[in-house]
Amino acid sequence: MNPWIATSLWLLALAVPGATWLWLVWRVPPQRDPIIAVWGTWIAGIAIAFPTVLAERAIIDITGLADPIRTFGSPVSLMFLLLLAGPLEEAAKVAASWPAFRSSHFDEAYDGFLYATASGTGFAVGYSALQFSAGPVDGGSVFRIGTAFIAQPLLASLWGYSLGRVRQTHTPTVRFTIAWIAASIVHGLLAHVTTAHSVLSRVATVPVLLGLAAVSFWLARDLLSRFGRVSRLPSAVAFASLPPPSLDAMRRALHRGSAPILFHWIAIGAFTTTGVMIVMVAGAVWFGRAVGLDFSAIESADTSASAIAPLVLLTAAVLTAFPVAGYLVTKASRSAGVLEPALSAALAIGAVLLMLGVAAPVALVFAIAFAPIAFALACAGSWLGLGRS
């Protein structure tokens, strides 16, 4: 089939979930932006995906990087995705949303999230259509492209939030630059992880996508509160007894004010986090061996339940250690905020990344992908330890 005909067919097929996603985000606020502005940004996202993907392919062809880029753990692949592909694609999404950002329609804080999602979903449709039409469709390509399709609008919401905060001046700040860089780094790491044809890569992307979705929801909720209302999304009802804290509340919890920073509890907390992690992993291994799991299957490319189950168990054990440790450190230190537990978790994560960088550089990529989730879980556990609602 002609590549452009195949691309057109994939565009039609992928436009349905992309448009549905944007339609749900568009209908959330009490006052909806004009159809032309929102859906025009979506179309701009689709259109800009074509020159972006074609430019990436041209660079790959000229430099002869086709094989190294598809090799997981390759420094060339990691550098290409972190320094070129990730920033280029995030910049393209910013460019698609820029006319709306500079227009008079961009007058509410939530508009930053809305138009970033519009450009992100549009870019995801165009990018995925080009990728699917470029080669045979198999399990590996569906996993890799499907992950990108979901992640594109979620990553855009990171810098979209910062644009929403400067809706009055229409001038990006340092906060936007930091958010854009963070989105580009996560973008590149996620793209690199999905190049691995192993069960480990498939398991690793799940918490990353869930973490991005949670952050995206949290950012949207914070911007919607500026409308004087709470999001219509169901979690506000499902977790009414324990509503997620607002960003302002988290900033107050991280701010020490006149109180001194308890440096000794940062060190104690790092050791506590490491100890809880070891105990949780040991318990997971004991439980797994008791029920007959084969942990050696993790290193194989097998995607059966026998290989996935032990990996999921170990991952869950490690991630569970962080909220538990955050809660224990907060209670033991009687801290008035989450600063010390957050810094102790960051210190423990840094130590783990350093050890993996020396002992297992390939595993370091997965650890970096999980690090933000572990840090967020540690802060959540510390928040519970404060005894606040």
Mean pLDDT of the chain: 80
Q: Are 364 and 259 in contact (CB under 8 A)?
A: no
Confidence band, pLDDT 50/70/90 cuts, at residue 137: confident
What token pair was written down for 301?
């490319």
Phi, psi of 382 (to 5 degrees): -65, -40
Rounded mean pLDDT of 328-345?
77
Q: What is the pLDDT of residues 66-118, one digit of tens each?
A: 788 877 667 888 888 889 999 999 999 999 999 999 988 888 889 999 999 99
Query: Can you tell me the distance from the alpha carbon of 195 to that of 289, in angstroms, rounded to the nearest whole number?
Result: 30
Q: Are 53 and 127 in contact (CB under 8 A)?
A: yes
Q: What is the pLDDT of residues 28-42, one digit of tens each?
A: 887 888 899 999 999
Q: Is the dihedral of CA 181, 183, 187, 189 positive or negative?
A: positive
Domain ranges of the chain: 3-235, 245-385
Q: Which of 329, 211, 208 is closest to 262 using CA atoms?
A: 329
Q: Are 205 and 194 in contact (CB under 8 A)?
A: yes
Q: Are 273 and 378 in contact (CB under 8 A)?
A: yes
Rounded mean pLDDT of 382-387?
74
pLDDT value at position 149? 94
